[in-house]
Every structure is written in C-alpha cells, then in structure tokens.
Amino acid sequence: MRKKILSSITVLCTFVMMLPISVLAEEVTFGQFQDDLAKAEKKLKDNNQSINNSQNQINADSETIRKLKSEIEAMGVETNELQQQIAESNISIAERRQQTKDVISYYQMSQGENIYLEYVFGGESITDLVYRLSIVEQITEYNEKVMEELENLIKANEQRKVDLANKEKEYENKISNLNAEIGKLTNSVSKLGELSPGLEQEVKTKRELVESYKAQGCKNRSDVIGKDCAVSSSNGQFSRPIKTGYITSFIGYRWGSLHRGLDMGSSLGRNTPLYSVGYGRITSIWKDKNGANNVNIEYRGRDGKYYTAIYAHLSRYGNIYKNMEVTPNTILGYMGDTGFVTGVHLHLELWPCRLYVDKECEGWDEYVRFVNKQYKSGFKGAESVINFPNKTYQTWTSR
Ligand SMILES: [Zn+2]
C-alpha cells in the first residue's frame, strides 16, 4: 500500500515536473509552420504591391507639385507684366490728361495765335478760330476716350492680379496637402529602427527554416517542431557573450520605444570576439534594412522554453553557417557598428520565443509586441537569464 502511494506520488511528481515544459513550450507542427510560410509569402506579395502603389502615388504627387510650382512661377511672371502694364497705363493717362490741359490752356491763352496748336497740327491749316475750337474738342474727346480705355485696362489688370493671387494661394494649399500625403506614404514605405529586418527578410528566414527543419528530420505535417524533430541540444545554461566588457545600455524604454537588447562594449572594440551564450543552433545570418550584420540563434532555456537570441551590429562573421550547432566556445563574429548605431557595441536580444516560428512572434511586428508584453510582465530577456553587472560601465573579465 505504502509502496503504491509512493509510486503514485513519484508519478505525480514526475508529471508535475514535466508539466511546465509541455505547457510552456508552445507546440508548432511542421504543417502549421509550412502554412505560416505560405501566409507570410502572400503578405509579402500584398505588401510589395502596396509599397509599389505608394511609390507610384508619391511619384504622381511629386509630378503634380512640379507642375503647380511651374504654374505659380508663370503666374508670378504674368503678375509682374500686369503691374508693368498698369504703371505704363498710369503714365499714359497722366500724359493724356496733361496734353488735354495744355491744349485747352494754350488755346485760351493764345486767343487765336496758338503756337502750341501750330506745333501740334502744323501752322498752315490752322486759320480759323472755330476750326481750332473743334480740334480742341476733338483732342479732348479723343484723350478722354483713350484715358477711359486705359482705366478699364488698369481695372481689368487689377482684377486679374487678385485672381492670380487667389489661384496662387490655392496652388500653395494643394502643394502643402500633396507634401503631407507624400510624407505619410513615405512613412508607410519605410519604417526604420535599430533593427528592421523587413518582410522580405522574414519570409527568407522562414523559407530557410523549413529547409532546416527538413534537414533535422521534420517530415510529416503533424510533426511537432522541437519535439518530434529539430530537438534542441541546448542544456539551458547561459553565459556572457564576451570575455571582458561592460554594459553601456540596459533593456528599457528609450525615446518612446522599448530597447529590447543589452548593449555592451569592450576595450578590444572591433576585435572583440562574440561567443554564443550557450548550446544552440544558428537559425539565421542576416542583414537588416540599415545594413547591420546579425546572427539569430535558437536556444532552450532551463525553463524548457525555446529562446531566440539576436546578436546585432557585427563588424564581421566568424566561421559560421546556417543551421550550425553552436557551443559556448563558438565565435559567431566580432563586435561592430554596422547598421543604425552610434558606436561599436554588441546589441544582444534574448527572449523566450522562436522568432518567425511560434505564433506569438511569427513576424517581426508580433515579436516586438511579444517582447513589450514580456517586459511589462517583469521578464527582462537577456538581463533575466544571463548574469550581468547591474550598473553600466562595470567591467567583467570572464564569461
Ligand atoms: Zn541596443
């Protein structure tokens, strides 16, 4: 009886001990993963289409802006011409007015012996006062008519100037709206951050993972990855990735977004070898959109969960290849400053999710959301599972 109870307890204990692993490790079958790849490929295709559309719209908007600007320039030239015409008309009006005044006053002053009229019409034909009077009237009338026409022209020009100014304002508005649209479209085309793999890279890695799983014995759609095939040889121990170094920046919120990795530097700079933090398998060797050289490695933690480590900004790679089984003595590469960085350092992310495989981090955006959730719940990735000093610039000299 006692033996039976004991063995029951043993079975129960074993079951309880097994439980966290089977509950925590998310199960993904090979078939599900292949379906996910197909989904990601479609998403990439749609995304490329929408990027194309955005790019076309940006080009069309830029062309419209160029046309509007050249029209505004033409309107400026026209406005100047109108102004010039107005000024000239004003001068002509003044001249006509003066001429009329002069004709009348000379006629009145000369009382028939007008030198000015002789000057204007020629002396010979001017003999008769009445005739002269009628000429004066004609000149006056003619000048009045010309002045009226000029004044109408000025009025028309002023109106045209107002119309042009309004149109220019309207065009300026159109341009600023188009520029706003271009800004939005440009944002949708490229979202940059410290690490930005982009959909293309995500799909590429997923494709490579399918091949890798096949090579690791995954055959049937029902095979559970990491259990029936592609089982990790990791022993759950994590050590520091560099022999001597110091933390320059911890995990935490920085400029409004979560800095998901530990940044560390070393006095050896670009010659600092970067070691694997444990026994694992290289899942991806990749470049991000900013040109950073990165390595992803899958590990299994002591908690039974699968982890993905990202080693970022390497200056160069070691003798590594995709699917390579790594040990804590494997040199992955050397510290660097490739990509979106301000100096030579290693950016190390380590979170309990198989990047591009597990549902919670099946894509980069999902991964970023997952890490934020983990951090908010108190888990701090590499900071939680690897022993690091808790102050920046505090140097360690062994792994
Ligand atoms: Zn960093």
Q: How far apart are CA 113 and CA 128, in angstroms?
A: 10
Determine the pLDDT at residue 23.
44
Residue 300 in this model has a pLDDT that exceeds 50: yes
Tens digit of pLDDT for each residue in 50-108? 888 888 999 999 999 999 999 999 999 999 999 999 999 999 999 988 888 887 777 76
CA of 194 to the centre of ligand 1 (A): 7
The per-residue DSSP string of 63-121 comes to HHHHHHHHHHHHHHHHHHHHHHHHHHHHHHHHHHHHHHHHHHHHHHHHTT--HHHHHHH
Residue 20 in this model has a pLDDT that exceeds 50: no
Determine the pLDDT at residue 68.
95
Q: How far apart are CA 391 and CA 396, in angstroms?
A: 11
Range with lowest mean pLDDT among 3-12, 163-172, 367-376, 383-392:
3-12
Q: Under CATH, which number does the domain 53-189 receive?
A: 1.10.287
Q: What are phi and psi of 295, to 5 degrees?
A: -130, 135
Tens digit of pLDDT for each residue in 221-260? 999 999 999 988 788 889 999 999 999 999 999 878 899 9
* Angle value at C-alpha 300, between 20 and 238, nearest 5 degrees: 115
Residue type, 345: H
- Cβ count within 10 A of residue 24: 13
Contact 257, 344 (CB under 8 A): no
CA of 48 to the centre of ligand 1 (A): 29
CA of 272 to the centre of ligand 1 (A): 17
Tens digit of pLDDT for each residue in 344-367? 999 999 999 999 999 999 999 999
Torsion of CA 202, 208, 211, 215, to 10 degrees: -120
Q: How far apart are CA 284 and CA 277, in angstroms?
A: 16
Q: How far apart are CA 206 and CA 398, in angstroms?
A: 35
The alpha carbons of the chain give a radius of gyration, in whole angstroms, of 42
- Cβ count within 10 A of residue 302: 11
CA of 289 to the centre of ligand 1 (A): 16
Torsion of CA 398, 304, 374, 283, to 10 degrees: 70
CA of 347 to the centre of ligand 1 (A): 4
CA of 263 to the centre of ligand 1 (A): 5
> Closest Cα partner for 271 from 335, 346, 318?
335
CATH 3.40.50.11440 given to domain 199-385? no
Determine the pLDDT at residue 125.
52
Tens digit of pLDDT for each residue in 157-169? 999 999 999 999 9
CA of 249 to the centre of ligand 1 (A): 7
Identical fold for domains 53-189 and 199-385, yes or no, is no
The per-residue DSSP string of 146-195 comes to HHHHHHHHHHHHHHHHHHHHHHHHHHHHHHHHHHHHHHHHHHHH----SS
Determine the pLDDT at residue 21.
42
CA of 248 to the centre of ligand 1 (A): 9
The per-residue DSSP string of 301-324 comes to BTTS-EEEEEEEEESEE-S--TT-
- Provide the residue ranges of all domains of the chain, joining segments of one domain with +: 53-189, 199-385
CA of 288 to the centre of ligand 1 (A): 14
Contact 294, 313 (CB under 8 A): yes
CA of 340 to the centre of ligand 1 (A): 10
Q: How far is CA 164 from CA 99, 160, 168, 172, in A?
A: 35, 6, 6, 12
CA of 22 to the centre of ligand 1 (A): 32
Angle between helices 129-189 and 30-110 (to 10 degrees): 170
For residue 335, name the pLDDT band (cuts at 50, 70, 90): very high
Q: How far apart are CA 136 and CA 114, in angstroms?
A: 11
Q: Determine the length of the chain.
A: 399
Residue with tokens 């005739």: 131
> Closest Cα partner for 332 from 342, 344, 322, 343?
322
Burial of residue 269, with CB atoms counted within 10 A of its CB: 0-12 exposed, 13-18 middle, 19 or more buried: middle
Range with lowest mean pLDDT among 123-127, 268-272, 336-340:
123-127
Neighbours of ion ligand 1 (CB under 5 A): 261, 263, 347
CA of 339 to the centre of ligand 1 (A): 11
Q: How far apart are CA 343 and CA 116, in angstroms?
A: 90
Q: How far apart are CA 383 and CA 231, in angstroms?
A: 26
Residue 51 DSSP one-character state: H
CA of 195 to the centre of ligand 1 (A): 9
CA of 197 to the centre of ligand 1 (A): 15
CA of 254 to the centre of ligand 1 (A): 10
Determine the pLDDT at residue 326.
96
Determine the pLDDT at residue 122.
54
CA of 309 to the centre of ligand 1 (A): 13
Q: What percent of the chain has pLDDT over 70?
A: 86
